Structure 1
Amino acid sequence: MFKRGLFLAVLAGALTGAVLLYITRPQPLPDDALAGLVADAARGETVFWAAGCASCHAAADAKGDEKLILAGGQRFVSPYGTFVAPNISNDAITGIGAWRALDLANAMLRGVSPGGSHYYPVFPYASYARASLQDIVDLRAFLATLPADATPNQPHEVGFPFNIRLGLGLWKLLYLRDGWVVTGDLTPDEERGRYLVEALGHCGECHTPRGALGGPDLSRWLAGGPVPAGTGRFPNITPAALDWSEGDIAEYLSSGFTPEYDSAGGHMALVVENTARLSPEDRQAIAAYLKQVAPVP
């Protein structure tokens, strides 16, 4: 009786493990997901700046055209370890020069590498999952116009158990969603702003607090939270705390100056460098969207 019970327990454990491995496996897009889409590198440049690619993947001290050399190397400290931005330049060996548009789409929308493994969500695919396939195709075309750089990638400094990437499938099961956070009857301008904030701009990655497993608390969307490195806080940018006018917000995203004549600092200064390259209409759309976010004290 004991042996039979032990056998059944082992069998049940094995079946449970097999099911868990199956439902948390990397799930790339279908091979024909991009069929019929025609790339436009000019539109891809807008996607590039809206998505903030250079802010993480260029050198930390890069200026001007150096922002377009996406050799990686920036370090991001978190409670789970230190993550190092990879080379996403046009180099075919150390960068993504050999990637297809579908490879980029799998990375940005599903968090899956060309080799079929999970990416860590420090790469903000939980936000990019809301992006359109057309924008990903256009972005890939623009990235192909940028310089190649052979700087080797550096490994992340992540200890046990977070170095076991299989567990990231469970994280995705819990937190990876492609639906909008702010819903309801929005104007076309507000919908464009929602797309820029919730998808490409991935503003919630910093401005939304996270739970113990690092997943965003969407009930406190954009309400601010601690900086992962352990010092300081990202501000609450819901209407409960951000009382600027739409014009003030749009101006800040253009010049970096607040209504009080203070200026953006830290990583936000890099964000403003990106939003300043967007059209005035896009900056206005972001401002209009932020006024529709639920106020969170």
Structure 2
Amino acid sequence: MPRLKKLAGAILTLAGVGVVAGWMLSAPTKIDPQVIAAAGSGDAAKGERIFNAGGCASCHAKPGSKDEGRLELTGGLALKTPFGIFIAPNISQDSNDGIGAWSLEDFAHAMLKGVSPSGEHLYPAFPYASYARMKPADIADLYAFMQTLPAVGGKTGGHSLAFPFNIRRGIGLWKRLYLSNEPVVTFVEATPEAVIAGRYLVEGPGHCGECHTPRNFAGGSDKTRWLAGAPAAEGEGIVPNITSGEGGIGEWSEGDITNYLETGFTPDFDSVGGAMVEVQKNMAKLTPEDRAAISAYLKAIPPHPNGYPPRKQATN
């Protein structure tokens, strides 16, 4: 009996230590206030470019909105994933229902660290795992532009997540594995500036890897197959391979990619479809130099075979 009591005591002690360690390791972290202060007050004109590169309206505009209505960021889009249903929130300038009361520091913490003004973890359905690579100055510019947009009231519904995904604190452990401000692809020093500029747009604000890269069981991007294509987060479709590997866009030239981002037409004169329609609309608003940089980067990254299982052939 004494041995059993000692064993039980040891187990409880270890469990307690594990709980405390897990609690500490999962704590939200924020960025140094000096980093935010050094970013300045932001330039709204420059922020519009980041807004388009980030595709903010694609998720946060009211579903079905067109033209100027896409700047009314009331949210409501439902993202149905294997982890549950995420609802894009209102990020308009409404002080009660949106983010109108957020400071630049609040905004930067959400974008770069995935932490809300109240100190809670945000779910990575909001692609801060990519935004973490953004420059603080661009965050300030985006914040300045967002302040020029309409304030529209209306709370969105909450997420619908099953246990254990409904425990926000656990996201802190996920961040330790998958949140980094380091580039995914490294290049030698002599790499053309256009490729480096494209890396920033693709890996950071453009968050292309969030859809085009396969994920593991925990929902983290498999960076060993960066941009190799993946099963769509919703439904049974696929997101294509955009590397030059087998099944990808190896036969596309940089000009082909640039033209596709601007016009929505492939080299075979097919047109953009699915969720990429919204992305292409955003890309078309960027400068020709930005689209050319994205193309240069996509042609420079390591090639990978398709990152999704082959589709089954229909039988008669």
1:229 to 198, 223, 234: 234
Q: Does 1:8 align with 2:3?
A: no
Per the TM alignment, residue 32 of structure 1 is displaced from its structure 2 partner at its CA by: 2.9
Which residue matches 1:80? 83
Which residue matches 2:34? 32
Per the TM alignment, residue 267 of structure 1 is displaced from its structure 2 partner at its CA by: 1.2
Per the TM alignment, residue 230 of structure 1 is displaced from its structure 2 partner at its CA by: 3.0
Aligned-partner Cα distance in 2 for 1:17–1:279: 50
Which residue identity is paired with 1:32? Q
Which residue matches 1:194? 199
Which residue identity is paired with 1:294? P
Aligned-partner Cα distance in 2 for 1:256–1:263: 6
Aligned-partner Cα distance in 2 for 1:200–1:166: 25
Aligned-partner Cα distance in 1 for 2:235–2:276: 17
1:32-67 residue CA offsets vs partner (Å, 9 max, x unmatched): 331233211111111100011001000221111111
Identity of aligned residues (%): 50
**How do residues 55-204 of structure 1 correspond to structure 2 at under 5 angstroms?**
55-185=58-188, 186-204=191-209
Aligned-partner Cα distance in 2 for 1:160–1:19: 21
Structure 1, 57-66 or 30-39: larger mean CA deviation: 30-39
Structure-2 change in CA distance of 1:177 and 1:37 (3 Å): closer
Q: What's the secondary structure of 1:266's corresponding residue?
A: coil
Per the TM alignment, residue 154 of structure 1 is displaced from its structure 2 partner at its CA by: 1.1
Which residue identity is paired with 1:190? V
The answer for unaligned runs of 5 or more in structure 1 is none
Which residue matches 1:269? 277
Which residue matches 1:248? 256
CA-based RMSD of the aligned residues comes to: 1.0
Q: Calculate the TM-score normalised by the size of structure 1.
A: 0.98
Q: How many residues align?
A: 297
Which residue identity is paired with 1:258? T
Aligned-partner Cα distance in 2 for 1:249–1:65: 28
Which residue identity is paired with 1:212? F
Per the TM alignment, residue 160 of structure 1 is displaced from its structure 2 partner at its CA by: 1.3
Which residue matches 2:219? 214
Which residue matches 2:210? 205
Which residue identity is paired with 1:158? L
Per the TM alignment, residue 100 of structure 1 is displaced from its structure 2 partner at its CA by: 0.8
Per the TM alignment, residue 86 of structure 1 is displaced from its structure 2 partner at its CA by: 0.1
Per the TM alignment, residue 208 of structure 1 is displaced from its structure 2 partner at its CA by: 0.2
The answer for unaligned runs of 5 or more in structure 2 is 306-316
1:141-188 residue CA offsets vs partner (Å, 9 max, x unmatched): 000000000011210111111111111111111111111111122211
Aligned-partner Cα distance in 1 for 2:278–2:150: 20
Per the TM alignment, residue 16 of structure 1 is displaced from its structure 2 partner at its CA by: 1.7
Structure 1 runs (4+) greater than 3 angstroms displaced: none
Aligned-partner Cα distance in 2 for 1:173–1:36: 26
Per the TM alignment, residue 9 of structure 1 is displaced from its structure 2 partner at its CA by: 2.2
Structure 1, 176-185 or 84-93: larger mean CA deviation: 176-185
Which residue matches 1:286? 294
Aligned-partner Cα distance in 1 for 2:297–2:12: 53
Aligned-partner Cα distance in 2 for 1:179–1:77: 29
